[in-house]
Each structure stands twice: as structure tokens, then as C-alpha cells.
Amino acid sequence: MLPLLSSAASAATAKAAPAPVQMKPVRIRDVEIGTGRTKTIVSLIEATPDAVLSRARLMGAMAEIDVVEYRIDFLDAALDPQAVAATMRPVADAIKGKPLVVTFRTKAEGGQKAITPAQYAAVYNAVLDSGAGDLIDIEAALMADPAVAALKTRVQGMGRKVIMSHHDFQTTPSTEVMVALLRRQQALGADICKIAVMPHDPGDVLRLLDATWTVRRDYGDRPLITMAMGGLGTVSRVAGEMFGSSLSFGALGDPSAPGQIKVSDLNETLTLLHGALGK
């Protein structure tokens, strides 16, 4: 038999795991993103102002929903800045104080409509002029455009927060590429960094989780939102607190992206995991 190592020798040879970098949570109204249980977020994806407002009132009354995302690219009039802006204050009032994320997802990253960077900035600037909306989702790929870079500066200058995002509806990049994408968002000054990818096997999901934990542990001084989409990626939507993802998208009716689960089930699962991790 091989001799057993003494406990002292074992301790000497074992490497202590480095502590994760210090997180700077983002607090919006009564919700702190980046600490405790992964928070739930549900998207408004209706096409008309009346339908948006009806669904927003329902979301405002649901305790299972922590944050509301307004996907303005789903609006019929999404390319009309003033028409979009006119819907903002009624939606903010209808959700009863929940944090409101405003998102125009471009066609290039899985959204409903193609839009030029200049149009994109104009729509968002009209949203800012409305006085409603707490967080603005800006696609990192558009930050090279001066109008979009100026938009980002304006958002933060007004005391609002920027979610910088990247979406790949076709593949899951390598762990190294996903880490680099999230770190680039940090370097560009995002308050919250986001990446969504499409897995084709469980190994893709593992890479997404590995990239999430790597960034959270080594670089993640601000909240992350990461997910593998589709049915394969469901585990990434419920295990965020363990790996470092601070918000998870659930569905109320039709999902806004593949693989979202019903928000009531999502909330229950996130709460269960939070309790288990605390023991």
C-alpha cells in the first residue's frame, strides 16, 4: 500500500483557491443586481402600445418578476423615435416601480428589425428624453460607431446604467473568446455585461458556464448576465448564482428567446438553489 499523506502534508501541497474579485453590485430601485439570488427578468414583446401596456400591468402585479425588459424592437413603430418615446412613461408606471430595462435588439443579433447605428442612437436618445427607463441595453458590436458611443456616455451621464451585450444565435464560441467578449464589455465601460450563445451539445453549455465563472472569479467586478439558449441551455438559466450570472430571463406567455422557462418555475428554482447554496 502507498503511505497515506499526513493532514499537514496534504494542506501544504494543496493550493488555496483564489477568492473571486470584489463585486460592485448595481442597485436599481429596490433590486440589487449582483448579490444574493439570481434575479428574474421578463420581456415585454408586444407589437402595439395597448398590448404592451396591458402586459406591463400584469407584470407589475407579479412578485415572481424582479426586473422588466421592454423589447422596443417588437413594436410595430420601433423605428419611429417619438412613437417609441410616447410609450415609455405609461410602461414605467404600469410595472409599479420594478426596474425597467429598455432594449432594441438588432436583426443582426436576433432582434426583430434591422436598424442603422444612427437610427439606433436616435431611438434610444428619444427614450432617454422621455425620462423613463433605468437600464439601456447597448450591443457591444455597435460601440465603434460614434453616435452609439456618445449614447452610452449620455446614458451614464444621466445616472442610468448600461447593459452591454453580445448575442450569437448560431454557435457557442470557445471559452477564451467568450471571456474576451465579456472583458471587452468591461473595458468599454459597461455597468453590466451580457452574453447569450447557442449550444449544440452539453459541452457548449459547460463552456458557457466555464467562461462565466472565469470572468466572475478573475475579472468580474460588475454583474454578469450569461446564458446558453435553447432547451440544452436551461441549466445555465437556473444555475446563475453558482457560476456568476446575476439575472435570468423567464417567460410570461411567448418567450423572447429560445429556451426560456415559465417565470414562476424559474423563480421557484432560483429560490431553491439560493437556499441550498446558503446551507
The model's confidence at residue 255, banded by pLDDT at 50, 70 and 90, is confident
- Asked whether residue 43 is domain-assigned, the answer is yes
The model's confidence at residue 12, banded by pLDDT at 50, 70 and 90, is very low
pLDDT digits (tens, 9 = 90+) for 162-188: 999 999 999 999 999 999 999 999 999
Grid look-up 448595481 returns: 26
- The pLDDT, as a whole number, for residue 4 is 43
What totals of helices (H) and strands (E) does the chain contain, helices first?
Answer: 10, 10
- The pLDDT, as a whole number, for residue 6 is 44
Share of the chain above pLDDT 90, in %: 88
Cβ pair 254, 45 in contact under 8 A: yes
CB crowding 167-198: b at 16 or more within 10 Å, else e: bbeeebbebeebbebbbebbebebbbbbbbbb
- Catalytic site residue from 39, 194, 262, 279: 194
pLDDT at residue 16 is higher than 80? no
Rounded CA separation 53/48 (Å): 9
Question: Is 62 in a helix, a strand, or coil?
Answer: coil
- Asked whether residue 50 is domain-assigned, the answer is yes
- Asked whether residue 7 is domain-assigned, the answer is no
- The pLDDT, as a whole number, for residue 254 is 81
Mean pLDDT value of segment 66-78: 98
Average pLDDT across the chain, whole number: 93
- The residue range of the domain holding 72 is 23-277
Mean pLDDT value of segment 232-250: 96
Cβ pair 125, 151 in contact under 8 A: yes
pLDDT digits (tens, 9 = 90+) for 131-170: 999 999 999 999 999 999 999 999 999 999 999 999 999 9
- Asked whether residue 97 is domain-assigned, the answer is yes
Per-residue cell: 140? 457591444
- Count of the separate structural domains present in the chain: 1
pTM, full prediction: 0.92
- Catalytic site residue from 167, 262, 274, 279: 167
- Asked whether residue 3 is domain-assigned, the answer is no
- Quote the strand ranges of the chain, DSSP E: 26-28, 31-33, 39-44, 67-71, 100-103, 135-139, 161-168, 192-197, 224-228, 247-250
The model's confidence at residue 129, banded by pLDDT at 50, 70 and 90, is very high
- Asked whether residue 15 is domain-assigned, the answer is no
pLDDT at residue 203 is higher than 90? yes
pLDDT at residue 7 is higher than 60? no
- Tabulate helix, strand, coil % of the chain (nearest 5): 45, 20, 35
> Is residue 194 among the annotated active site residues?
yes
Helix (H) or strand (E) holding 151: helix 146-157
Look up the CATH number of the domain holding residue 57: 3.20.20.70
- The pLDDT, as a whole number, for residue 118 is 98
- The pLDDT, as a whole number, for residue 18 is 74
- Asked whether residue 14 is domain-assigned, the answer is no
The model's confidence at residue 258, banded by pLDDT at 50, 70 and 90, is confident
